Amino acid sequence: MINRSRIKYPGIQGIIIILFIFLLNAWTQPTLTTPQPSPEAKITQEVGISKISISYHRPGVKGRTIWGDLVPYGEVWRAGANENTTIHFSSPVKIEGKGLDAGKYGLHMIPTENEWTIIFSTINTAWGSFSYDKSEDALRVTVKPESAPFEERLSYRFDNPTDSSVTIALYWEKLRIPFLVDINVHQVVIENLKKELRGLGQFFWQPWNQAANYCLQNDTHFDEGLTWVNRSISINENFTNLRIKAGLLEKKGEKAEADKIMAKGMSIATENEMNQYGYQLLFGGKVDEAIKIFEKNVKDHPDSWNVYDSLGEGYATKGDNKKANEYYNKALDMVRDENQKKRISGILENLKK
């Protein structure tokens, strides 16, 4: 028989101490690193200046029947393993033609034999799809599964990227599940330029001109571009920003005003600015226009070897080797730099072939 009068039960402080020792024991147990059955993976793709990122875990086939068995048909699936697969868009997109805001989403799928539902959930912190709630969907689209070469481990890929779109595809076992992502790249860039021009760049003419030039080169937002180039001109009027303004006006059909602005720009252009403009035309395939600019530079700066060199290149590009030879020889006679002499001599040798 136990003599209970001799047993001392711990008081409240004793219980706290015991619990503390127990928890400390648990907390200090070392956790060793071992391979995960379904390793983690992350992929990222840029479209324009937008980023798309996918984080997921990669289960293996391991000899199992996947579709309709391990992954049941007609049920919401985490589209990976462990935590729910997540997808992040840095800007608004269209998925299979349907709009989706920028943000991070939980990616789930409902497979069937002939059609899959791709789900973008506003909840991106769930464990798998066990707590999935349809009311939290941001978007659903349907796509067709495709046959593909065998893949042991599940993977996501960015297929067929273009300047404004990419196809995201899940590959596993012998299936490919693709969905198309489209981005209004110009709108994204314009909105980003507006933000950046609120920063330090607003005090310099170059950033305003760069933004306007984006509009000119991409045939977009001409009115916005004119606002920006006018701001550039107000800070420092020069050939570069006057040329951009003339180009935007011409795109808007205001040819007479464009010619007037361009004439003003040409009257104040430096030798280097004219030379750069000529090469811009030359590399853009406007050879005759480039030659006219180079000829004007020769007339305005007859003592510069470089203007003859550029005019020679213009005629060589056109295929007029006789005139190209004439102006390259003129440049060779004037230049003093030995490296440039060697370069021009090499060009002249090639023109003889």
d(CA 128, CA 120): 13
Tokens of 209: 């001109």
Coil, strand or helix at 123: coil
Looking at residue 125, the DSSP 8-state letter turns out to be: S
**What's the confidence (pLDDT) of residue 7?**
46
Tokens of 70: 């391990």
Q: Around 26, how many Cα atoms within 13 Å sit in the side-chain half-sphere?
A: 6
Q: With CA atoms as reference, report the closest residue to 141 among 180, 184, 182, 92.
A: 180
Looking at residue 320, the DSSP 8-state letter turns out to be: -
- In this structure, which amino acid lies at residue 167? T
pLDDT tens, residue order, the chain (353 aa): 445 445 455 556 655 665 555 555 555 667 787 788 889 999 999 999 999 999 999 999 999 999 999 999 999 999 999 988 999 999 999 999 999 999 999 999 999 999 999 999 999 999 989 999 999 999 999 999 999 999 999 999 999 999 999 999 999 999 999 999 999 999 999 999 999 999 999 999 999 999 999 999 999 999 999 999 999 999 999 999 999 999 999 999 999 999 999 999 999 999 999 999 999 999 999 999 999 999 999 999 999 999 999 999 999 999 999 999 999 999 999 999 999 999 999 999 988 87
- pTM of the prediction? 0.79
**What's the confidence (pLDDT) of residue 27?**
54
Looking at residue 319, the DSSP 8-state letter turns out to be: T
Do the strands 85-89 and 103-110 form a parallel or antiparallel pair, or are they unpaired?
Answer: antiparallel
Tokens of 288: 């005759």
**What's the confidence (pLDDT) of residue 18?**
57
**Domains identified in the chain and CATH numbers:** 40-183 (no CATH), 186-352 (1.25.40.10)
Distance from the Cα of residue 351 to its chain's centroid: 42
d(CA 121, CA 134): 8
Gyration radius from the chain CA atoms: 33
